[in-house]
Amino acid sequence: MDLAFFCGRAALSERYAEAAAAHAWVIDGSAAFRTRADVPLVAADVNAEALDAVGTRGLIALPGSASVALATALAPLHALAGLQRADVATYQAVSGSGRGAMDELAGETVAMLSGKKARGRAFGRQIAFNVIPQVDALEADGLTREERRLWEETRRVLGLPHLKINATAVRVPVFFGHSLAVHATFERSLSVGEAAGVLQRGAGLSLIEAASATEFPTPATLAMAPDKVYVGRLRADPTRDRALNIWVVGDNVRKCAAHNAVSVAHILVNRHQ
């Protein structure tokens, strides 16, 4: 075996991934190894250079889908003006919690439209026609695990260990496609036009102009295309200098997870042919 994709839960990866990585490339999509300094954490469109130290075998961790979308959108802006701070609210699809959560949303929607009560099993409360300001477990300081992962992973992928990130992660009744409202502050001044230019050229990105027929990306439309993270609603922040507001949408399962994993594999294989 030369290459293995681990797409299960963290417990599965913790049990088998390192043993497999002694003989092959192991690309792990779980959270099991994302905080380990000796394991590269890679978003292929952002920090592919992290794979330079990987030989013909070894373990590679993939960031969470929201972190991939955020880092992909912020990377070209950081290269242009030096990212200083990001305030982020995520609106995350139920598919991020697996097939059972998707079935729950479908079942609750049918039940409520039929005049019945929602079961509220997958998230501890109703998800159909609702918004839940908690993704994953709450920690002692009031953050959720997803919020902590978002700023830890984004810092690492961007190579900015001291980046200030303030995040609120929210679960919404959408099957596929994470959305993020991002308010970013930079070290240097940049215009909306300059920002649009670098976003248009950004790897893995597509900028949706306000004047286009599409106007802005949504999970039910553009997010279903597997190969891009979409950015829209680009505008200056009227309350802060050197700041921009953007809306980011990406398919959490296809683009930000599966497509990222396969892209990492392509890089590894091509470098060692």
> In the chain, where are the structural domains located?
3-63+259-271, 65-252
pLDDT at 213: 73
For 192-203, write each residue's pLDDT tens digit. 999 999 999 999
DSSP secondary structure of 140-167 = TTS-BHHHHHHHHHHHHHHT-TT-EEEE
pLDDT at 52: 93
For 154-187, write each residue's pLDDT tens digit. 999 999 999 999 999 999 999 999 999 999 999 9
Q: Is the pLDDT of residue 92 over 90?
A: yes
pLDDT class of 99 with cuts at 50, 70, 90:
very high
Burial of 252 (0-12, 13-18, 19+ CB in 10 A): buried
Q: Which residues contact 88 (CB under 8 A, 6 or more apart)?
A: 70, 150, 165, 166, 167, 168, 180, 181, 182, 183
pLDDT at 173: 97
Fold held by 3-63+259-271: Rossmann fold (3.40.50)
Q: Is the pLDDT of residue 113 over 90?
A: yes
pTM: 0.95
Q: Is the pLDDT of residue 100 over 90?
A: yes
Domains 3-63+259-271 and 65-252 are alike in CATH topology:
no
pLDDT at 259: 95
Task: State the chain's mean pLDDT as an integer.
Answer: 95
Fold held by 65-252: Dihydrodipicolinate Reductase; domain 2 (3.30.360)
For 39-86, write each residue's pLDDT tens digit. 999 999 999 999 999 999 999 999 999 999 999 999 999 999 999 999
Q: Collapse the DSSP code of 66 into the 3-class scheme (helix H, G, I; strand E, B; otherwise coil) and give the result.
A: helix
Q: Collapse the DSSP code of 244 into the 3-class scheme (helix H, G, I; strand E, B; otherwise coil) and give the result.
A: strand
How large a percentage of the chain has pLDDT more than 70? 99
pLDDT class of 109 with cuts at 50, 70, 90:
very high
Length, in residues, of the chain: 273
Q: Is the pLDDT of residue 124 over 80?
A: yes
Q: Is the pLDDT of residue 223 over 90?
A: no
pLDDT at 226: 60
Dihedral (CA of 201, 205, 211, 214) sign: positive
For 231-258, write each residue's pLDDT tens digit. 999 999 999 999 999 999 999 999 999 9
Q: Is the pLDDT of residue 33 over 80?
A: yes
